[in-house]
C-alpha cells in the first residue's frame, strides 16, 4: 500500500446518504483511514506472496482482496493495541463506503468528470482503492479535508480516453455502461481498458500486463454476473468502484 489518507468521519458522512455513512459501520466513528495502491507495487507484493501460475479468475477468487485485508487487519490490530477500536470496510461489502469520495476528500486525487475514476497526480488512473479502516477516536489528531483543488486535469485535456473506447461509452454526459458490458462479454477489451490506457497522466505507472489482464478477467466474471441478474442500474457503481 503506497497511498494512505485519513478523513474525519463527520466530514465524510455529511456528504453521504444514511446507509453509506461511516457511522452505519461503527456508530462511534471519528476517523476513516483509506488504504490504496498506485502503479505496480501492489501486484509485485501479491506475486511474491503467491508465485507461480495463476488460476483462471473466478467470482470467489480473492487474490488481491486477501492481501489487502491482511494489511488492514495488521494495521487495525496495532491501532487497537493503542486503544483505538475500529472495523474494516471492503469495497464489495453490502453497505460499503464511497471509496472514491474518501480518496478525493483525503487528497489522493480527483474524480474524473469523464471516466468517473480517481486520477492521482502521479499514478493517474492506475490506482486501486483497497480497504478502509473506520476508527473510534482520533489516533492522528484532528484531520481536515485536503482535496486537491488545483488538480483538475480533465478540464484542459483533449480527452483521448473518449475516442479510445471502441464503443465510445464516454461520448455523452451519461456513460453507456450497458454497451461496455455487452462489448466485454462479446470478447472486447479482454486484456485491459483502452480508455484508461489512453489517459496521459501516469502512463509510466500502467499495470504490468499480467496484472492488467488479471483484473480485467476478474471484472468480466463479475460483469457477467450482473448482466445475468439484469442489474444494469448497478453497473456504474461496479465499473467505477475500483480497478
- Judged against a pLDDT cut of 80, whether residue 226 lies above it is answered with no
Last residue of a domain, one of 136, 162, 182: 136
Exposed, middle or buried: residue 124 (CB in 10 Å: 0-12, 13-18, 19+)? Answer: buried
Which residues, other chains included, contact 204 with Cβ-Cβ below 8 Å and sequence gap of 6+?
none
Using one digit for the tens of pLDDT, what is the confidence trace for 95-116? 899 999 999 999 999 999 999 9
Confidence band (pLDDT; 50, 70, 90) for 233? Answer: low
Q: Do 204 and 92 lie in a common domain?
A: no
pLDDT band, very low/low/confident/very high, at 177 (cuts 50, 70, 90): confident
The pLDDT of residue 223 is: 83
* pLDDT tens track for 63-76: 888 899 999 999 99
**Does position 163 have pLDDT exceeding 50, yes or no?**
yes
Predicted local confidence at residue 61, as pLDDT: 64
Residue 231 has pLDDT above 90, yes or no: no
Residue 237 lies in a domain: yes
Helices (H), the chain: 9-13, 41-49, 63-81, 99-105, 160-164, 177-185, 194-198, 209-228, 235-241
The values of phi and psi at residue 80, to 5°, are -65, -35
The answer to whether 161 touches 199, Cβ cutoff 8 Å, is yes
Find the domain containing 217 and state its range: 153-241
- Please give the pLDDT value at position 8: 96
This prediction has a pTM of 0.88
Query: Higher-confidence residue: 220 or 6?
Result: 6
pLDDT band with cut points at 50, 70 and 90 for residue 238:
very low
The answer to whether residue 146 sits within a structural domain is: no
Domain boundary, last residue among 109, 136, 163 = 136
Residues forming beta bridges with residue 134, ordered by sequence position: 32, 87
Say yes or no: 97 and 171 in one domain. Answer: no
Residue that has been written with the C-alpha cell 483521448 in this structure: 160
Segment 40-61, tens digit of pLDDT: 999 999 999 888 888 776 656 6
Per-residue pLDDT at 239 exceeds 90: no
By C-alpha distance, which of 127, 192, 124 is closest to 154? 124
CA atoms within 13 A on the CB side of 204: 2
Q: What is the pLDDT of residue 57?
A: 67
Check whether residue 125 and residue 7 sit in a common domain. yes
* Tens of pLDDT, residues 121-162: 999 999 999 999 999 999 999 887 777 778 999 999 999 999
Domain count, the chain: 2
Whether 230 maps to a domain, the answer reads yes
pLDDT of residue 220: 87
- How many C-beta atoms lie closer than 10 Å to residue 222's C-beta? 16
End of a domain among 106, 136, 166? 136
Distances in whole angstroms, Cα of residue 171 to Cα of each of 36, 139, 190, 201:
29, 44, 21, 20
C-alpha cell at 112: 474524473
Amino acid at each position: 500500500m503506497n497511498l494512505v489518507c485519513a478523513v474525519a468521519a463527520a466530514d465524510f458522512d455529511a456528504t453521504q446518504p444514511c446507509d453509506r455513512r461511516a457511522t452505519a459501520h461503527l456508530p462511534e466513528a471519528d476517523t476513516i483511514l483509506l488504504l490504496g495502491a498506485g502503479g505496480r507495487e501492489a501486484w509485485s507484493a501479491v506475486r511474491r506472496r503467491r508465485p507461480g501460475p495463476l488460476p483462471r479468475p473466478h467470482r470467489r477468487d480473492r487474490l488481491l482482496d486477501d492481501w489487502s485485508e491482511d494489511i488492514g487487519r495488521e494495521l487495525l490490530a496495532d491501532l487497537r493495541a493503542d486503544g483505538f477500536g475500529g472495523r474494516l470496510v471492503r469495497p464489495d461489502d453490502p453497505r460499503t463506503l464511497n471509496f472514491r469520495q474518501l480518496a478525493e476528500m483525503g487528497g489522493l486525487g480527483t474524480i474524473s468528470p469523464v471516466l468517473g475514476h480517481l486520477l492521482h497526480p502521479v499514478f493517474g488512473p492506475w490506482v486501486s482503492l483497497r480497504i478502509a479502516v473506520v476508527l473510534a477516536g482520533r489516533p492522528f489528531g484532528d484531520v481536515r479535508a485536503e482535496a486537491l483543488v488545483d488538480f483538475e486535469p480533465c478540464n484542459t485535456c483533449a480527452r483521448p480516453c473518449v475516442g479510445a473506447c471502441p464503443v465510445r461509452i464516454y461520448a455523452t454526459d451519461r456513460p453507456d455502461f450497458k454497451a461496455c458490458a455487452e462489448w466485454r462479454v462479446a470478447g472486447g477489451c479482454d486484456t485491459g481498458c483502452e480508455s484508461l490506457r489512453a489517459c496521459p497522466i501516469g502512463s509510466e505507472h500502467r499495470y504490468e500486463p499480467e496484472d492488467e489482464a488479471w483484473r480485467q478477467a476478474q471484472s468480466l466474471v463479475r460483469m457477467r454476473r450482473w448482466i445475468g441478474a439484469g442489474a444494469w442500474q448497478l453497473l456504474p457503481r461496479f465499473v467505477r468502484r475500483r480497478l
